Structure 1
Amino acid sequence: MVRETRARESVGHQARLGTGLHMTETNRMPTVGGVSRVGDAFMALLEGRRSTRMFKDEPVPRELLERMVRAATLLPTACNRQLWHFVAVTDPTLKTKLSRLSDAQQSYLYDAPVLLAVFYDTSLETRNPCNTAEVTVGIAIGGLLLAAEAHGLGAIYLGGIRRPTGIGKALGAPPFLRCFGLVCVGWRDDDPPAPNHRPVPEVLEFDGCSRSRPRFHADIRPHLWSLVQTADFRDKLLWYKGVHIDGKTLHVDPDSRSSPVFQFMTGRLGMMLARHDHPKILDVLSFNGDVVYQLLNTAGRQAETVYAYDLTPGIARYIQERFGRLSPPGHVACIVNAGADRVAIPLPDGHVQAISCYERLEHFEDPLPLLREMRRVLATGGRALILVSNRFYPHLYRYRRMREKNYALGRNWNRGPERKFEPAQIERLLEQAGFRVTEALGLQPVFLKCAALVAGMCRKIGMHGRADRVSDWAGQRFVVRGGFRKYSSVLVYEVE
C-alpha cells in the first residue's frame, strides 16, 4: 500500500514539474525569448533540488530505482563506452558491512532505504590524462540525483568514504570495477534550506579570463564577513544536515562531546555552578546546543534557567527541535541577538551567574563587542568560562592557510569564519571588556603530540609497556599552567 501511494506521489511530482523523462517534438519548440517549457521545468528542478540526509523508514519501489539508473545511462560517456555498473543495496547487514569496510561514518548510510553503489570499469583508461572515467561517473551521479528529485525522492551523494575499495570488497565486485561512491536514496524526511549559490556573472566570462578576478571566493578571514553574513551562514550550515544528524554534529563544532576538551569544560562549568543556588546560566552562541545540553545534565534541577543565545531564530528553532528528540527540554530559554548589524544579548544587566563561551570568539575579527555584552549581563560574583583556540599551537589543518598566517581553515572547514588568538591578544581583550582573569589554563600542550608519536613508535617495535607509561604520563598533563599554557591547543580563562 505504501509503495503504491509513493508511486502515485512520484507521478504527481513529475506532473507538477510540467514534464516527465520523455521529451516530445512540441516540447522541443522554443517559446518567446527562445526558452522552452522543458527548459523552464528543468531549471525549476535544479533550483528545487536539495541533498537529503534524513529519510523515512519506507521502501523505494524497484521501478523508481530502475528509472533513476535509466536516466544515468542516457547521459554521455567518453567514447560511448558505457562502462558503468550500479548495485542497489537494501540489506541492513550489508549496509553495516559497507560502512565498516569503507570507513564511512555518516549515519545516513544506515538510515537511507537504498544505497546505490556506483562502479566504472577504468581498465581501458588507466593512462588517460583527461581523467575521462572520473568525468563520466560524475555525469552519471548527477543524473541519478536529478532523476531522484524528478520522481519525488530524496538523495545524496556520499563522498566521505575513506576506503572506496572496501565497498567493492563488500559487494564482491571484480577487480576491474572501481567504486566511485554511494548515492543514498529514499523518501525525504527533512526540508533543508536553500544554500547560497554564486551568481552567473561572477562565474561566467566570454572570450577569456579576467586577470583581476580574485582567487579566493569563500574567504575564511572574519574581517571580510559582516555580522549578517555570519548569522546567515551559521543558520544554513546548522540546518543542512538536519536535527542531530550523526549524533555529533561535528560539522559545526570542533570537538565531539566525548573529547577531553569538551569534558574538561563541562566539568569546570559544573564546579562553577555549584557555588550558586538556582543560578541563571548563559551559553554564548549555542549553535547546535551541545554545551546547553551538557549544562542541563550538569546542573539538573539546580539551575533556574539556561539561556541559549545565538544570532538567528532558525538556530533557536533547531535547538528546540533537537532537544525535543533528545529529552525533556528542561529550563531552557532560546534567545536571539537583538541587533541586525551589532551584537546585543537580549538580557538585562547583571542577569546571569555563569557564562560559557566555547571557542566562539574565533568567528569575529573583533570579539570585543561580544565580550562587553557578556560582561554586562554577568552578575556581581558570577563567573564566565571562556575557551579560545591558540594561534601558537601547531594545528594540523587539512586545508591550505589563507594569505595571513593567523587565519586558517579550521579542522572542519564548514565552521565559517575563524581566526586564532595569541594569549596576549585575548588577555588584552578580556581586560578591555572589564573582566578580571581569576585563572588561566592550557589544554593539550604541544608536548603531548610528541608523546603520542613516541608511544606509537614504541608499539610498532613491540615495546608496549614503555608505550603505556608514555601515554599515562601524557594523560596526566592534559591541563597545564605557566609557560606551557602559551603553547597549548586551547586557552582557558575563568573570569569575573
Structure 2
Amino acid sequence: MSTTARPFVPLAFQHLPEDEMLRRAQRFYAEMERRRTTRHFSDTPVPRELIEHAIRTAGTAPSGAHQQPWTFVVISDPRIKRLMREAAEEEERVNYDGRMPPEWLEALAPLGTDAVKEHITTAPYVVILFRQVYGLRPDGSRRTHYYTTESCGIAAGLFIAAIHQMGLATLTHTPSPMGFLTKLLQRPENEKPFLLMPVGYPAPDARVPDLQRKPLDEISIWFDGGGDG
C-alpha cells in the first residue's frame, strides 16, 4: 500500500544572539515560576477570544504522526456546568469515601482538596480536553492514532502555559471516572475525556498551598562528557 508524502517547506527559524536567547529563557521561566493552581475562581467574564487563542496555542503541540488527536470542548452554558458539577461531585464523593486508597488520600491532604468542585460552576469557562483514541475516516472506518496520551499531555501543557501567560488561571481536574463527560457533552465513541480545566480570573481571596517546587538538581541529570570513562 503506497502513501503520499507531504510536501516539505523551508523551516521558518530565526537564529538569535545567545544573550537574547538567555533573556527570553529567563523571562519565560520567571513568568511560569509564578504559575500556581488555584481552586478559587471569580465569575468575572472572560473574552472568548482569549480562550480561542489558548486553544490555538495548544494546537501547535507536536503529536504522533502529526495526527493532532485532541478535541477541546469549551463550556460556558451555566446549565451544562451545573450538570457537570453534580456528576463530578457524585464521583468524587465515592472517591473520598472509600474508592481512593489511603496513600492517595495522604498525598492529596496538603492540597486541601475534597469532593466539592465549585470551580466548575464559578469559572466562566470549563475546557474539557478529549483524547481521540482513534481517528475516523470519511467513510466511517477507523484510523489508528499513535501516541495519543503523550500528544494530549503536551497540548495540555501548552494550553496551561498560554492561559497563565495571558493573565488568567486554570486548574487541572481529573474527576475519576470521567465517562460522564462523554455522555453529557455528546462526544463520539472514539473520544475519551483526558482533562477538565476551568479557566478564569482567580477569586480576590484565592489562596493556594504553600508548596515548593523541586530544584533543578532534583529534576535533571546531565551527561556532559569529558570524564575518565
What TM-score, normalized to structure 2? 0.70
Aligned to 1:30: 17
Aligned to 2:165: 150
CA change 1:126–1:80 in 2 (3 A) is closer
Give, in whole Å, the separation in 2 of the partners of 1:140 and 1:194: 27
Aligned to 1:95: 81
Q: State the one-letter code of the partner of 2:16.
A: M
What per-residue deviation string (whole Å, max 9, x for no partner) do you get for residues 118-167 of structure 1?
Answer: 11211259998xx82111111111111111111100111112x1221110
Q: Name the SS for the 1:181 alignment partner.
A: strand
Is the contact made by 2:85 and 2:118 (CA closer than 8 Å) also made in structure 1?
A: no
Counterpart Cα distance in 2 of 1:29 and 1:191: 39
**Could you say what secondary structure the match of 1:157 adopts?**
coil
For residue 66 of structure 1, report the CA deviation from its aligned partner.
0.3
Aligned partner of 1:109 in structure 2 is 120
Larger Rg: 1
Unaligned runs of 5+ in 2: 1-11, 93-114, 136-141, 225-229
Q: Secondary structure at the match of 2:82?
A: helix
Letter in 2 for 1:205: I
Aligned residue type for 1:175? E
* TM-aligned CA deviation for residue 110 of structure 1: 1.8
Whole-angstrom distance in 2 between the partners of 1:170 and 1:121: 17
The answer on whether the counterparts of 2:58 and 2:158 sit within 8 Å (CA) in structure 1 is yes
Aligned pairs for 1:249-398 (under 5 A) are none
- Number of the residue aligned with 2:217: 201
The SS at the match of 1:57 is coil
Matching residue's letter, 1:64? L
Cα pair 1:57 1:111 within 8 Å, conserved:
yes
Q: Deviations for 1:152-209, whole angstroms, at most 9, x for unmatched residues?
A: 00111112x122111010011111111112111001122536621111112322349x
User: Which of the pair has the greater relative contact order for Cα pairs under 8 Å at 6+ separation?
Assistant: 2
Structure 2 equivalent of residue 421 of structure 1? none
SS of residue matched to 1:118: strand
Structure 1 SS opposite 2:179? helix
CA distance in 2, matches of 1:24, 1:195: 38
Give the letter for the 1:154 counterpart: A
User: Offset at 1:107?
Assistant: 2.0
- Work out whether residues 69 and 152 of structure 2, in 8 Å CA contact, stay in contact via their aligned partners in 1: no
- 8 Å contact kept, 1:122–1:177: yes
SS of 1:158's equivalent in the other structure is: coil
Return the match for 2:38 from 34, 52, 55.
Answer: 52
Give the paired residue count. Answer: 180
Distance 1:127 1:194, change over 3 A: farther
In the aligned structure 1, how far is the partner of 2:133 from the partner of 2:214?
Answer: 33
Instruction: State yes or no: 1:192 paired with 2:203.
Output: no
The answer to whether the aligner puts 1:39 opposite 2:55 as a matched pair is no
SS of 1:140's equivalent in the other structure is: helix
- Look up the SS of the partner of 1:29 in the other structure: coil
Q: Is the 8 A contact 1:119 1:177 kept in 2?
A: yes
Kept in 2, the 8 Å contact 1:45–1:146? The answer is no
Instruction: Show the 5 A alignment for 1:164-179.
Output: 164-179=178-193
Q: Which residue of 2 aligns with 1:216?
A: none
Which residue identity does 1:180 align to in structure 2?
F
Q: Which residue of 2 aligns with 1:163?
A: 177
Runs of 4+ with >6 A deviation? 125-128
What is the RMSD computed on CA atoms of the aligned residues? 2.7
Superposed CA offset, 1:203-223 (max 9, x none): 322349xxxxxxxxxxxxxxx
Residue of 134, 139, 146 corresponding to 1:123: 134
Distance in 1 of aligned mates of 2:143 and 2:69: 14
Structure 1 residue aligned with 2:153: 138
Give secondary structure in 1 for the equivalent of 2:199.
strand
TM-score normalised to structure 1 length? 0.34
Contact residue 101 and residue 170 of structure 1 kept, 8 A: no
Q: In the TM superposition, what whole-angstrom CA distance separates every residue of 1:1-36 from its partner, at most 9, and x where no partner exists? A: xxxxxxxxxxxxxxxxxxxxxx994xx51333x843
Distance across 2 between alignment mates of 1:83 and 1:135: 10
Q: Identity over the aligned pairs, expressed in percent? A: 27
